[in-house]
A and B are shown apart, each in its own frame.
Chain A
Amino acid sequence: MLFMMATGCYLLGTIGYLIYLGRNIPQIHWTAWSFLGLGCLAHGGGIILQSMAVGHLAVTSSQEALSFFALMLVATYLVVQLRLNLRILGSFVSPLAVVFMLASSVMPASIIPRSGIFQSTWVVLHITALFVANAVFALAFSAGVMYLLQERQIKHKQFGFLYRRLPSLERLDAINSTSLMVGFPLMTLGLLAGLAYANMILQSAWHRDPKVISALVTWCIYAMSVHQRLAVGWRGRRAAWLAILGFSAVLVTFLGVNLLLKGYHTHFVM
């Protein structure tokens, strides 16, 4: 029930943001932002109730994971909006949240048996850090798409209606940079927590788990982004492409591996 409410609110918020993309009316933005906030509350409430029912953080099935990811994404955007006041970003982020919610609702609702394995602080740290990192990377992805759209218009000297609505290149690049610098340490932290816990309790060959391998590839992409930006001064178009590449890798790790391959994550996740 709460999840449906949340999806509804996100949908309304997205519609608002898409209208706002076309027409610069502050009230529309405010309404859309409020809908996202409302959805976020309902969503958070739903996840808390569910977690209490199963006795651990309810993000173990793909369905729950997608929905948790949508929550993190919206929450991150809401906070970023308050701090940076970059309204147009919402027009790119909110549709993502709706897509994730809808994807979540079509996933099989598998019931994961109560298991002591999830009731560890390590797991909570692992999951929360990675999900926040992914949400931040999703912002970087959105900013990257916006950058490429805007850069193309300026470079090719052909202007569409988005030209007026999109912020300056420098600003979009700054968002990309900040997201990277926040997301990368979080991702590192989340992965380390996961590896440490796996080492402690799982004797299986975790390093052959496709999800872990995919995650490490993703980590390498972001590590390279950080390096290129700091050491070589990559920015702008290339950095935007890296953000898009990185987030694609996140999605592959996150969904592709769950759905297509077998491994110990999928063992209890599907």
Chain B
Amino acid sequence: MENIILLGTNHNAAPVEIREQLASICLQEDLSLEVHGKLESVEEFLFLSTCNRVEFLFTAHDREGAIQEVKHLLKGRLGTASQPLLDEYLYLHEGQEAVRHLFRVASSLDSMVVGEPQILGQIKAAYRNAAQQRTAGVILNRLMHKAFSVAKRVRTETQIGSHAVSISYAAVELARKIFGELNNKQVLLVGAGEMAELAAGHLMAQGVRKMLVCNRTLERALELAKRLRVGTVAFDQLLDTLKEVDIVLTSTGSPDPIIRREDVKQRMRGRRNRPLFFIDIAVPRDVDPAINQIDNVYLYDIDDLQGVVDFNKLERQREARQAEHIIAAETLKFLDWFHTLEVVPTIIALRRKAEEIRREQLEKTFAQLPHVDEKARQAMEVLTESIVNKMLHDPILFLKRKSGRSSKQHCLDLAQQLFNLTDAASPNELPSLDSLED
């Protein structure tokens, strides 16, 4: 029986110093080349390395040997100083736990920011790598494809990735709840800081095309405007610009509010009450809080946005519970398949033997009856084939049913003795039991 084993560490298990060492010495392409010849007890092998995670997924008949080999490989690469520490930072999952862990990682439940989408791409890259190096075989191929489809299921059936968990994303999400499509909306950036630039980037990614930068020192405004490829507004024209724009993002270092309630209120009529959304990420605040009371004007300061983020994080956790359920079910499904792998060689051998006997006997018969025409020959082919299939149907079904049971080994032995099967094929010769369906 082959074991599925997962050995690795992540942001929960190891401090960042260890993770970064591991990540830097374990570049994917590099390592899989080296592994190729060295790991003798390991059958199939896949290696994943991201900034928060280093994991080895492998299958082996000789469990102990394989684990030692992988650990040895790691230690060989790691500086001697960290070597003794390694064991306490590594986690080891086997069988069901390994499968579940992989599915959780792929679905981004094990990520530092739960629900972040990058991890799936990283796993796909790791799998591509393994496929290129031909270190992934029947089991890992199936397992990885399953992991991708589970991740997809989690993403579509739960809302795990759909709520913003960063300040700037939360602001964009709110803007979309107010305006719907953002591509015909105009944005005014007041202040040219880093946060403003980050949020501006998100807004542009959401389709915003018209943007203006306004800053007390024109130079910095011009710099930022150049990077974002947008226009600028003089600081003293800021208030008049409020008639045109839809979203105002402020992040100046000003000690006093720069936009007051009256400034906005008197301009709303000129805007024909089109909604105006203020995002104030400056501390101290740039926008008078009373502005939120004006009709069709919405103001979110940094604390409000943090509130949204906290709310979304809670939501993600709730969705994560639902995702765990999906993963548990899919893990069992995969294990069902995995357990059938053991009966596959016996079934193949049984089929092969029956087919050989059929061929042999048929040829003998044909040799004795030279006058038989083509049509009759074909009829005999069909006849013998269907006899063989019908004969084998029940024994094969019996073996398949036993695949998940503890009495499996006994039944396999019995079947092999009963039919005198000596050369049971290796499971790697045929991809899966699915192709053996009657």
Contact = CB atoms under 8 A, between A and B. Distances in A.
Contact of A169 (B163, B272, B275, B311): B275
A164 interface: yes
A170 B272 CA distance: 14
A29 to B, nearest CB: 15
B279 to A, nearest CB: 13
B298 interface: yes
A159 B174 CA distance: 11
Contacts of B296: 235-237
Interface stretch (A11-19, A44-52, A149-157, A217-225): A149-157
Given A155-B292, A237-B296, A168 B177 contact: yes
Contacts of B269: 233
A171 interface: yes
Given A157-B300, A167-B180, A171-B180, A237 B295 contact: yes
Given A164-B159, A237-B296, A150 B177 contact: yes
Contacts of A150: 177
B214 to A, nearest CB: 24
Interface in A142-168: 150, 154-155, 157, 159, 163-164, 167-168
B176 interface: yes
B281 to A, nearest CB: 15
B273 interface: yes
A238 interface: yes
Interface string B169-188: 00000101111100000000
A169 B276 CA distance: 12
Contacts of B295: 236-238
B324 to A, nearest CB: 18
B177 A233 contact: no
Contact of A168 (B180, B274, B292): B180
Interface size class of A (residues with CB under 8 A): 10 to 19
A206 interface: no
Nearest to A237: B295
Given A157-B300, A159-B311, A235 B273 contact: yes
A234 interface: yes
Interface string B112-135: 000000000000000000000000
B273 A154 contact: no
A159 B164 CA distance: 14
A230 to B, nearest CB: 10
Contacts of A236: 273, 275, 295-296
A164 to B, nearest CB: 7
Nearest to A157: B304
A203 to B, nearest CB: 48
Interface string B268-285: 010111110000000000
B79 interface: no
Given A168-B179, A235-B296, A237-B296, A159 B272 contact: no
Interface in A221-246: 233-238
Contact of B178 (A157, A168, A234, A237): A168
A166 to B, nearest CB: 8
Contacts of B304: 157
Contacts of A159: 308, 311
Given A154-B174, A235-B296, A237-B296, A170 B275 contact: yes
Contacts of A238: 295
A239 to B, nearest CB: 9
A155 B178 CA distance: 10
> What are the 8 A-B residue pairs with the smallest beta carbon separation, nearest first?
A233-B272, A168-B180, A170-B180, A236-B296, A171-B180, A233-B273, A170-B179, A169-B178
Given A154-B177, A157-B300, A237-B295, 9 more contacts: A150-B177, A155-B292, A157-B307, A159-B311, A163-B177, A169-B177, A234-B273, A235-B273, A238-B295
13 contacts: A154-B177, A155-B298, A163-B177, A168-B177, A168-B178, A169-B180, A170-B178, A170-B179, A170-B180, A170-B275, A233-B272, A237-B295, A237-B296
Interface of A: 24, 150, 154-155, 157, 159, 163-164, 167-171, 233-238
Interface of B: 159, 163, 174, 176-180, 269, 271-275, 292, 295-296, 298, 300, 304, 307-308, 311
